[in-house]
Structure 1
């Protein structure tokens, strides 16, 4: 067995359940309507989906928390939900996983929900329900009080899962990073948008190539030299000591200081990439906070993502699945 695999196995079997991680970000509910399509509607030239079942899943930052939970970590979450049925469903799903929900605030906006209509394994349509509005200053203060309370206990790491839906405001991100560093807690960021000033000084950021292109201001070719060159410019500008660039079929590149290391993809068959970034972020952050080197943590994250994209819909990969894949 390779040394890397031995260290991953040791972490998953003996250390993961001691990792305590707080996820801060945009909470979402993913609903899947599964059915079959055998005819076209007589009312309009559209397929008729005979719905056979409905499944509710955690999405957005809640999916990051789900992935951490499936790895065995102790998880806390902070985000916003609405006073609606979808918010109740989301909280219930978190409760089933024993994820601490004390950092959640309730707002007048709708709980962010994505409804996907599937015919067989094919996604036919997606419906998004959201009121994209930034937190108010009062809501930011309320959130930070809850975050400080969680940090007063023992937390090993914080993940900022930003989906650009209004929860991860610039002020909130800066306050979370500052509070974490005061307690010597590393912050891992899944970025969105082109305002990376709010992530300045975070310990690690995990963009994909498109997000890297957006922030650098021009398309970045998915080649080793181009990715590394763009990443280093952004790391210097925003004082980021580490970066993990996810590169689709080319795996991922880990940068730290003057070092860089590219890990080939583990995906054997791709059904659905939704949620793959959440899986990478969760596994990588868990590994690093649990004592794995950056390269080995990234290797575990890459393996987890390879398992996840082989499933239909948003999927949280378990430590048992990773262990089995290493056998």
Structure 2
């Protein structure tokens, strides 16, 4: 896998999807409010990091790839902050569509703590738009995607259900990547069955169960469902993440390979670990790495991400160190 990590350096990939600004407001508990029986926090810090599809793009860049991002953000301050966060890691954001009608999707987490207590999230406030894209906005998205396809060797559709990946965008990406022989992967929280013809699929076990309307309470049921999903979508492969049970990769040759968790250290936060997984998979596939090796590499990278608080990125140096530790432990 060390060779695979070297291969992904410089691989150009395109990430399309719901771009999110994750906002963290850190405060210290000051007193109880006189207005209501609630705590008053004194804000100490505010930071904005890339979330959703933007986190996939960020990870692709920090892992050493050439990352192009196409999505929508508003003309607001949150959009400015998101583009700054991405640009700081070298993500190409010049193909974003900025639309005043669609304010930047934000997930604001209020983090509270005291002098003698551990800081923790007490509430999350989401801002999303639920109106369909205007025809001209969708046209701009498709034009920018089409212009970038000749420059990349892998494409991600990161669909959080916020409306960026329209039926037209989905159909065009699937058809064009197949026609050009470019690996593609989708990570969709909802409606995964609408992605027939995609190259690879990433789902967690709960999403798999919901998609097929099944209860997956045994190893055999998970394997049967993974094969069924791959066959129904006519995909080259399906990667199912299974929490403490690692991952399972289902390929078109009928194989199903279980990949155990690489590191059993304490898990701090699962936020964004799936984004890291998808970023590694597409970089590796784009670089010509075998799918099973790509999945094993993504498993190790995801293990790094879950040991960090909040939405986090993994660097090539992080992954190299983890690979070295894994090799040394054999």
Q: TM-score range by the shorter chain?
A: over 0.9
CA contact (8 A) 1:102 1:146 kept: no
Q: Deviations over 1:202-233 (max 9, x none)?
A: 01000111111111013322x32111101111
- The 1-side partners of 2:190 and 2:232 are apart by 16
CA shift, 1:38, in A, is 5.5
- The 2-side partners of 1:256 and 1:282 are apart by 19
- The 1-side partners of 2:192 and 2:50 are apart by 26
- The residue aligned with 1:196 is 193
CA contact (8 A) 2:174 2:198 kept: yes
- The 1-side partners of 2:173 and 2:134 are apart by 16
- The residue aligned with 1:113 is 106
CA contact (8 A) 1:134 1:165 kept: no
CA shift, 1:189, in A, is 0.4
CA shift, 1:195, in A, is 5.2
CA shift, 1:302, in A, is 1.1
- The 1-side partners of 2:297 and 2:4 are apart by 10
Two-structure CA RMSD over aligned residues (Å): 1.5
- The 2-side partners of 1:219 and 1:136 are apart by 38
Deviation larger for 160-169 or 141-150: 141-150
Q: Please report the TM-score for the alignment, with normalisation by the length of structure 1.
A: 0.92
- The residue aligned with 2:183 is 186
Q: Which secondary structure does the structure 2 equivalent of 1:127 belong to?
A: strand
- The 1-side partners of 2:209 and 2:133 are apart by 27
Q: Please report the TM-score for the alignment, with normalisation by the length of structure 2.
A: 0.91
CA contact (8 A) 1:207 1:244 kept: yes
- The residue aligned with 1:287 is 284
- The residue aligned with 1:205 is 201
Which of 82, 89, 94 is the aligned partner of 2:81? 89
Q: Residue 216 in 1 paired to residue 208 in 2?
A: no
CA shift, 1:78, in A, is 0.6
What are the ranges of 5 or more consecutive residues in structure 2 without an aligned counterpart? 114-118, 325-330
- The 2-side partners of 1:305 and 1:39 are apart by 39
- The residue aligned with 1:3 is none
CA contact (8 A) 2:18 2:158 kept: yes
Q: Residue 236 in 1 paired to residue 231 in 2?
A: yes
What are the ranges of 5 or more consecutive residues in structure 1 without an aligned counterpart? 1-7
- The 1-side partners of 2:192 and 2:293 are apart by 30
Deviation larger for 100-109 or 203-212: 100-109
- The residue aligned with 1:4 is none
Q: Deviations over 1:89-148 (max 9, x none)?
A: 111222222211232112211100111011243111101112122323332222111111
Which of 144, 160, 164 is the aligned partner of 1:163? 160
Q: Residue 310 in 1 paired to residue 307 in 2?
A: yes
CA shift, 1:36, in A, is 2.5
CA shift, 1:169, in A, is 1.1
Q: How many residues get paired? A: 316
- The 2-side partners of 1:262 and 1:195 are apart by 22
- The 2-side partners of 1:40 and 1:304 are apart by 42
- The 2-side partners of 1:323 and 1:231 are apart by 30
- The 2-side partners of 1:122 and 1:261 are apart by 37
Q: Which secondary structure does the structure 2 equivalent of 1:98 belong to?
A: coil
